[in-house]
Structure 1
């Protein structure tokens, strides 16, 4: 089932989601490095910048995701709405996290990042279910000619 937000039959949303996921995981890694003894005071700064970049990337990925969601049949739309709701929750958590860090938050910010990453895992599982079980964004090859 092809999706309308695509370039040359390749869906845009899965291409863009790698940006926020990668940046948020990198942000969490920077936090862990600092927490477990990284001496440089730059780790929290890098973590914050990666987090903000992830927020921007997530908002960019949300637009083609929404376009695709609106084209889905009702049976799959329920999964897609749950996927979207979790992703929006993650973005809100990271906005709060970034705001909190700019005001000097401590270890609580790391816990908030861990919760957000856990939610990302659930959302990714739902996204994978839409693709691998329901064929969203997958073009079925034509039947061979005999």
Structure 2
């Protein structure tokens, strides 16, 4: 259990008690949620070209951010002992996130013109739902199984009264 709390490479994955993966995932999540907002808005305006292109670039930013977050997340995965529930959960978390990233990469390539298509919006929305499931599993890894979370003695330091 202690192995999953310590980083494989503190320089690349973040020091003990402060992993980089959780902060890096905010980039694709924010970009992809914003792209869905742009897609919805594109359905409501007379000239949607700028919104469609904005959604396209937000998707690209999200894909790049997801690749970076996945590299750091893979380092955290290597610290989890195989054959455990935590490892199986981490593999499912990773697989769903890779599926979502591929879906968004395909969505980016689909957007070759400035016309909004309902299929683009639908793929965007479904991808976000799957991303939500993957995020739930990531939360389970951290908050239920304690992956990359410091031990309770270290946590207790934050609740001690200053002398």
Q: Is the 8 A contact 1:25 1:117 kept in 2?
A: yes
Q: Is the 8 A contact 1:20 1:53 kept in 2?
A: yes
1:2 maps to 2:6: yes
Larger radius of gyration: 2
Task: Kindly state the Cα deviation for residue 71 of structure 1 after the two structures are TM-superposed.
Answer: 0.9
Q: Which residue of 2 aligns with 1:122?
A: 133
Q: Structure 1 length normalisation: TM-score? A: 0.91
Q: Distance in 2 between matches of 1:79 and 1:38?
A: 45
5+ long unaligned stretches in structure 1: none
1:84 maps to 2:94: yes
Q: Which residue of 1 aligns with 2:159?
A: none
Q: Structure 2 length normalisation: TM-score? A: 0.82
Task: Kindly state the Cα deviation for residue 105 of structure 1 after the two structures are TM-superposed.
Answer: 6.4
Q: Which residue of 1 aligns with 2:108?
A: 98
- Deviation string 1:77-96 (CA, Å, 9 cap, x unpaired) is 10000000000000110111
Q: Distance in 1 between matches of 2:33 and 2:87?
A: 28
Moved over 6 A (4+): none
- Deviation string 1:107-127 (CA, Å, 9 cap, x unpaired) is 111100011001000000000
Q: Which residue of 2 aligns with 1:64?
A: 72
Q: Which residue of 1 aligns with 2:49?
A: 41
5+ long unaligned stretches in structure 2: 157-163
Task: Kindly state the Cα deviation for residue 102 of structure 1 after the two structures are TM-superposed.
Answer: 1.6
Count of residue pairs the alignment pairs up: 144
Q: Distance in 2 between matches of 1:80 and 1:140?
A: 20
Q: Distance in 1 between matches of 2:143 and 2:76?
A: 16
Q: Is the 8 A contact 1:87 1:123 kept in 2?
A: yes
Q: Is the 8 A contact 1:58 1:91 kept in 2?
A: yes
